[in-house]
Amino acid sequence: MQRRQFLAGLGALGASGFVGAGEQAAPLRGPDVIFVPTPNEIVDTMLRMAAVTRKDTVYDLGCGDGRIVITAAQKFGARGVGIDIDPDRVAEATENAKRAGVADRVRIVRGDLFEADIKPATVVTLYLLTDLNLKLRPRLLKELNPGTRVVSHAFSMGDWTPERTAEVQGTHVYLWRIPPRKA
């Protein structure tokens, strides 16, 4: 509960930008939340709840040190893309992927999670605040393919009812699935 209150007390800044490999670094806004690592037991729960397999591409929006996409590659054989706006976190996550021996399956990019291309994802993981999840929700529903799993550590999506929830180390993990498109 303290971690949740701590994160909920953190603020957001302004707007835009995405930098991929080989692009010039456009000015990016600052992080929406400070980096607080997701405990490994919760990472495992998130990936198991999403039923990650080697066929999946896991996107972690606000990837921090990269542990979620690295674990997805190591334990489940998935591909992973971590997106973070903080260049220090990007460097750390990139180094962690190399050290873990999964740099061929994991790509870390510096970018704005509200602007980055997330369409290739089959699983999206989040450890943001509820208001950020709510801001992302229309994008997730519009851009992700039906059946894509979305998993959040600690923070809900408002009135979007999760398919499953779990409690781990005193915090909730939520799972949603992108519904079929209406004709």
pLDDT for res 17: 32
Residue 59 in 3-state DSSP? strand
Beta strands 79-84 and 149-153 are: unpaired
Q: What is the pLDDT along the chain (183 residues), one digit of tens a residue?
A: 444 433 433 333 233 333 334 344 455 778 878 889 999 999 999 999 999 999 999 999 999 999 999 999 999 999 999 999 999 999 999 999 999 999 999 999 999 999 999 999 999 999 999 999 999 999 999 999 999 999 999 999 999 999 999 999 999 999 999 999 887
Report pTM. Answer: 0.84
Task: Sheet containing 149-153: give its strands across.
Answer: 106-110, 79-84, 57-61, 123-126, 149-153, 171-177, 164-168
pLDDT at 128 (0 to 100): 94
Dist. CA 99–CA 175, nearest whole Å: 30
Report pLDDT for 34. Answer: 81
What size, in residues, is the chain?
183
Query: What integer pLDDT is reported at residue 150 of this predicted model?
Result: 98
Q: Can you give the pLDDT at residue 8?
A: 39
Sign for the CA dihedral angle at 106, 111, 112, 114 comes to negative
Phi, psi at residue 172, to the nearest 5°? Answer: -95, 150
Domains in the chain with CATH codes: 2-9+41-177 (3.40.50.150)
Residues 152/128, Cβ–Cβ less than 8 Å: yes
| Contact (Cβ atoms closer than 8 angstroms) between residue 79 and residue 105 | yes
What per-residue string of b and e applies to 129-160 under the rule 16 or more CB within 10 Å gives b?
A: bbebbbebbeebbeebeeebbbbbbbbbbeeb
pLDDT at position 27 is: 57
